[in-house]
Amino acid sequence: MATDENCIFCKIIAGKIPSRKFIETDKAYAFLDIGPTAPGHSLIIPKYHAAKFHELPDDTLSDILPVAKKIALATGATDYNLLQNNGRIAHQVVDHVHFHVIPKPNEEQGLV
Ligand code: 5GP
Ligand code: ZN
């Protein structure tokens, strides 16, 4: 498994930095974003370290979308963004591939 000892998300996977974990599988790890843009804002990461999406071997990706789906359901939000940034111009800050699940609660949920 590729890891980078200087990577903040590799440290989270290894338990060296605390996180609010939702789900962990052999290949993926999901946790709350430390700076949520909405309640429930979560991140899903492959355990394999790669900076950008296209660098990931195919077999490291199989758990990502099923876990993202579980997280999206768990937030209870009917509307949400699932997004993933690659490179500084595309607003990537942490160089370990991550998918954001960002709930967009509606007025009935009281959190617009
Ligand atoms: P990016 O802009 O790279 O797509 O998003 C990086 C995300 O990682 C940001 O939303 C930021 O709040 C989150 N983040 C950065 N450092 C940490 C951390 O140490 N723990 C957690 N839980 N989230 C982090
Ligand atoms: Zn990493």
- Tens of pLDDT along 29-63? 999 999 999 999 999 999 999 999 999 999 999 99
Q: What is the pTM of this model?
A: 0.95
98 flagged as catalytic: yes
Q: How would you list the strands of the sheet with 80-83, edge to edge? A: 21-24, 28-32, 42-46, 99-103, 80-83
Measured CA to CA, the distance from residue 40 to residue 77 in angstroms comes to 9
- Please tell me the distance between residue 93's alpha carbon and the centre of ligand 1 in angstroms: 7
Task: Name the catalytic one among 41, 49, 96, 98.
Answer: 98
ipTM above 0.95, yes or no: yes
| Model confidence at 111: pLDDT above 70 | no
